[in-house]
Structure 1
Amino acid sequence: MRRTKPLPATVQRWAEQRIGPVVAVRDASHDWYRSKVWELEGSGARRWYVKISPSVKFFTRETRAYRHIVPVLGHSRAPDLVDSRAEDLVLLLTAVPGAPAPGLALTTGEWRAVHRQAGVLCARLHEAGELDRSDRTEAEASLNVAAEGAEKYLARTGARLTADEQQVIRDHAAQLRRVGPVPVGYIHGDNQPRNWLVSSAGLALVDFERTRPAARVQDLVILAVTEWLDHPDREKAFFQGYRRDLTCAERHALRCLTALDAVNCLAWGPDNNHPEVTGRGRRTLDRLMRENRS
């Protein structure tokens, strides 16, 4: 059972200086030791969220995203940043309607509708204005950076992967370096249903700590190896909302990126006692091995 994390008193006092007295606090963290999120309730049942970022990098990304990128999603399609405090890596956010999609008993048709709305919001995010020179440089280098990370994750997996499996990862990393130009923009960075809030008002996105300039296709990796693998109708619905198909280069990049996601999962999952992430990596790698032999 996950232990409830207490909200630091100094953070609560800081939040109350901005929103008034807090009458109730609920731990809303993910099941990960570095996740620190609390729901705050004020008078009149008004709600906010406080988040302590796990690192300076994530804090910097998320505050920048809320100030300059997230507003393109539209009213109530994402939280608003009320305030932030760099010394504590803390953000105070408004609450948006809805509950995470995985916790809802959605029908087949409702899941398709959710993916269609997610495609719409992702397109808005990916096209959120022109990239400046620094962001464009980072975005255009993102696939090479991903490829270069393969050896780091292979070293961490050690004996968990066979020699043939390690070679398949290296082959896909090498192919990723040769993909060529692909569309770039701002990506969510953790684009998956747990960060999609569903309500009668429509879909909202949350958790922008990994938002950054990158190849747009990088935002589709988790969906490709989880949701869409068993539910191609959801993939079709997403791209109906996204309003364009992937280019040939993007499709090849996506396949290579799924291989790198697999080795990342097989390094991180066991080290952090996370069977769901480990299982995701193993399933992807087993599929790639089968396809490689055929």
Structure 2
Amino acid sequence: MPLTTTQQALLDTWLPGHTVLGDHSWGLVSTTVLQVRHLGRDLTVKASSPDDHHLGREVVAHRELTAPLLPDRAPTLVRADLDAHLLVATWLPGRLVQGTPAEHDPASYHQAGELLSRLHGQSSRTDEDWLEQQRVRTARWLARPHRIPRAHVDRVERRLASWPVGPVTLTPTHGDFHPRNWVVEDGTVSVIDFGRAQWRPPATDLARMEPRQWRADPRLEAAFLEGYGADPRPGWWPDLLLAEAVGTAVWAHQVGDEAFEQEGLQQLAELTA
């Protein structure tokens, strides 16, 4: 999605004479991600449509949650305008960990665990309703168009009828924590993209890695937990994975990401077996 006239005018005011070095947009959602250069400094520009909530979450995360990772293990917010759905942050040098040898290196996961422990460890609060909200959210996903087999839907609905209840501890979380949102430079891992950041149980930040990298190589899980300093997964971890798999299958179907949809469907098949 190209920048709107308003967004481009605002960006020209903030960064007069900037040069666009690359477009790193994902292409499936209405968010534009640009690498630009201004006065010799590389910066990240993110712009979204008014119906996208991720950019607002990212601005809040930069302002309230990322301090333990600064100045060089997460981007620093430079400018933001929530009304214009536009932000500028520092550009972290390096390559995405996903798709490189670093994705299969336990050292990457040890560092990632250390960074996530910093993020989670800064504060906590108790929430009496979070588990019930996840039950309701999962039921709402099932009510949307999807290609989940009927037998799997029936099993999920039976699980929802006996969903766990009770208070849980929430911490600041990244929300999409896995190698696609890590960058590595000279062996140092940093974290990017806080568009799903929110207060959640800390274990939720492990849900992307378990069915992917950790399944293929248990050494990566062990290295991560060693770096993190504990294992935050609670007794209701399988229910969390089930909710994540439902959300993945339905959301990916809606945006046309067939590979991600198949990942969610496969995980659902295993979790409901």
TM norm structure 2: 0.89
Q: Are the counterparts in 2 of residues 29 and 36 from structure 1 also a CA contact under 8 Å?
A: yes
The whole-number CA distance in structure 1 between the counterparts of 2:161 and 2:206 is 20
- Aligned residue in 2 for 1:42: 38
User: Match for 2:135 among 147, 162, 165?
Assistant: 147
Q: Which amino acid aligns with 1:183?
A: T
Match status 1:204 vs 2:200: no
- Aligned residue in 1 for 2:263: 280
Q: Which amino acid aligns with 2:66?
A: V
CA gap of 1:157–1:17, structure 2 versus 1, over 3 A, is closer
- How much does 1:25 deviate? 4.2
Partner SS state of residue 102, structure 2 = coil
Q: Which amino acid aligns with 1:119?
A: G
- Aligned residue in 2 for 1:215: 201
The whole-number CA distance in structure 1 between the counterparts of 2:146 and 2:48 is 30
1:52-105 Cα shifts (integer Å, max 9, x gaps): 135464333221110111011132111111111122111111111221111323
Q: Where do 5+ consecutive residues of structure 2 fail to align?
A: none
The whole-number CA distance in structure 2 between the counterparts of 1:222 and 1:97 is 24
Q: Are the counterparts in 2 of residues 188 and 210 from structure 1 also a CA contact under 8 Å?
A: yes
The whole-number CA distance in structure 1 between the counterparts of 2:215 and 2:97 is 17
Match status 1:270 vs 2:253: yes
Give me the identity figure in percent: 26
Q: Which aligned segments of 4 or more residues in structure 1 are displaced greater than 6 angstroms?
A: none
- Aligned residue in 2 for 1:105: 101
Q: Are the counterparts in 2 of residues 7 and 38 from structure 1 also a CA contact under 8 Å?
A: no
- Aligned residue in 1 for 2:46: 51
- How much does 1:159 deviate? 6.1
Q: Are the counterparts in 2 of residues 221 and 261 from structure 1 also a CA contact under 8 Å?
A: yes
The whole-number CA distance in structure 1 between the counterparts of 2:14 and 2:147 is 51
RMSD: 2.3
1:183-237 Cα shifts (integer Å, max 9, x gaps): 3201101112111111116111111121111111111111122221222111111
Which structure 2 residues correspond to residues 128-147 of structure 1 after superposition, within 5 A? 128-131=122-125, 136-137=126-127, 140-147=128-135
Q: Are the counterparts in 2 of residues 190 and 219 from structure 1 also a CA contact under 8 Å?
A: yes
CA gap of 1:233–1:176, structure 2 versus 1, over 3 A, is farther
- Aligned residue in 2 for 1:95: 91
Number of residue-to-residue matches in the alignment: 272
User: Match for 1:123 among 117, 123, 132?
Assistant: 117
Q: Where do 5+ consecutive residues of structure 1 fail to align?
A: none
The whole-number CA distance in structure 2 between the counterparts of 1:48 and 1:106 is 24
- How much does 1:167 deviate? 2.8
TM norm structure 1: 0.84
